[in-house]
Amino acid sequence: MSTQIFNLPDLGEGLTEADLVNWLVEEGQTISVDQPIAEVETAKALVEVPSPYGGTVLTLHGKPGETLMVGNPLITVGDEAAESPERPGALDYREEEQAGIAVPEETDDESSGSVLIGYGTSGGGTSGRTRAPKRAATPTKPQTDQPATVAASSAPRVISPLVRQLAKRNNIDVTHLSGSGQGGIIVRADVLAAIDAPTASSQPEATAVETDDRDARSGLTIVERVPMTGVRKMVAEQMVRSRTNIPEATAWLDVDVTELIELRARLKADNPETAPSLLALIARFTTAALRRYPVMNSRIVENHDGEEIVYFDGINLGLAAQTPRGLVVPAIEHAERLSARQLTTEISELVAKARDGQCTPAELTRGTFTLNNYGVFGTDGAAAIINTPEVAILGVGRIMDRPWVVDGEIMARKVTELTLSFDHRVTDGGTASAFLTSVADAMHHPSSALADL
């Protein structure tokens, strides 16, 4: 039997490490080419990694929760047929494309499946060979008489993607669950039981500490230590870069959005299913203002001659989204081409993907301007940190009833606060304030603004 060692690939954007979340196979199991073998979390997204080799799993290199370095062994696969000259091994996608061989798509999931095959891996042999034929995976016979041994020596057995998704959404680590299904398989009832009775097992990232572990500065007992990994580590590094490199300034403006609320109510009454959301309307006004003041949609790029301001033919609108894995900013590509109704659909789908950890690295890094709706958390205003390398971020506070002067009379109006943080190297306060006022005016008189869009 020959062996093939599959190293952890660079999953995109030059990442150097990934956290192993869950094994999808176990040692001794027979797998096929392109079969997902592990879930890993990078600083950008949660992805399934497929195997470029078929055969028997000999070794799983790593345990759930560990941080693996790109280029280090991930899995070792043995294949008795691999030594045959007629079946020299798996080709990567780059070699197959160069040889003109069609590679079938096996999944529509952008964050998993065959789109990740290749990774720069290569098999030996001469040119002109074809991909090894895939073999159906042979299920391991359940050992019902030794469920404890199986659970202790193998990866958690979660067959249903619905069960795995339920665990993810409730921050339940399946590696700490005992499966009540046949052969130790983890079923929905096991996850629901963990949700109803949360224990330390539902917090895998926390490191257990001794009761006498005390903080030297405060003198208090430390109850847990949580390493900075994955998205949280990425967010921390991004914020430090922004605060260190960008001389930012902040401007804010209170806006009477009573007419905007009334317009949204009328649109919803006419057709609830297609009515644009408030955030989509604000996004539409934002993209219109960015077209008027394109410097707010630019970025600074370093080259051999120094720094230059780069302008774009289009707007990739980022949306700050709070997810179970931390703060991420997925972006809608060419948002300026979309109507408010279309933006409603795009925002809903993209935020849902972000919360499920299914956004691709490109979706999380392609933004040119960020819109941050922190009003949903009950916050009036905030001096948001710019999502470098962008040059500005617009924040929207909660909408609340406030006394407002209208035609010389005080009356209750719906008011929100807009906050703009901008890079003072790229633009000055006059342009930034003009941009902010443009968005505010559109929100204050939305019908007139929409007529001009």
Q: Indicate the pairing of strand 400-406 with strand 392-396.
A: unpaired
CA within 13 Å, CB half, 253: 19
With beta carbons less than 8 A apart as the criterion, state whether 385 and 393 touch.
yes
CA-based nearest residue to 365, from 328, 400, 315: 328
Is 424 annotated as catalytic? Answer: yes
Token couple for 4: 């093939």
- Residue 20 has phi, psi (to 5 degrees) of -80, 115
With beta carbons less than 8 A apart as the criterion, state whether 89 and 131 touch.
no
Residues listed for the chain: 453
Token couple for 3: 């062996």
The alpha carbon dihedral of 405, 407, 411, 413 has a sign of negative
**72: three-class secondary structure by DSSP:** coil
Helix axes 188-196, 161-169, angle to 10 degrees: 10
- Give dist(CA 257, CA 418) in Å, integer: 11
- Give dist(CA 293, CA 53) in Å, integer: 52
With beta carbons less than 8 A apart as the criterion, state whether 93 and 115 touch.
no
CB atoms within 10 A of CB 366: 15
Catalytic residue among 304, 334, 424, 445: 424
- Residue 403 has phi, psi (to 5 degrees) of -65, 135
CB atoms within 10 A of CB 182: 11
Token couple for 90: 């798996």
CA–CA distance from 335 to each of 196, 246, 447 (Å)?
Answer: 41, 25, 20
CA–CA distance from 174 to each of 23, 77, 162, 178, 392 (Å)?
Answer: 10, 24, 13, 8, 40
Catalytically active residues are: 424
